[in-house]
Amino acid sequence: MVTAKIKILPKASVLDPQGKVVMQSLETMGFMNIEDVRLGKYIEIKLENMTKQEAEKTVDTMCQKLLANLVIESYVFDIE
């Protein structure tokens, strides 16, 4: 069994209001020296009967078709 660990973030050019709210909350709580916060999704998918190579192709297709909104988000993933 292989596990895909997918990180999805708003693209750098896209506003991230959720990230800004988290940043402001942290600053209100007294945390200093924060330059930027980006908030996105983290998805773990367990796949059976698949090699790492097959999983890599499959997960890339999953990201493009469903998991990420490619207009405003970018994704990276590891297969373990």
Residues of the shown chain interacting with a second copy in the complex, contacts defined by CB under 8 A? 1, 5, 7-9, 19, 22, 25-26, 29, 31, 33-50, 58, 61-62, 65-67
**Both tokens of residue 24?**
């402001």
* Shortest Å distance, C-beta 62 to a second copy: 6
For a second copy, the closer of residues 38 and 56 by Cβ is: 38
Q: Nearest distance from residue 71's CB to a second copy, in Å?
A: 18
CA distances from 76 to 29, 32, 39, 60 (A): 31, 29, 14, 9
Q: How far is the CB of 23 from a second copy (least distance, A)?
A: 8
Distances (CA, A) of 39 to 17, 48, 52, 58, 80: 9, 30, 28, 25, 24
| Residue closer to a second copy, measured from CB, 39 or 56 | 39
Question: Is there a contact between 68 and 75 (Cβ–Cβ < 8 Å)?
Answer: yes
Task: Choose between 9 and 79: whose C-beta lies nearer to a second copy.
Answer: 9
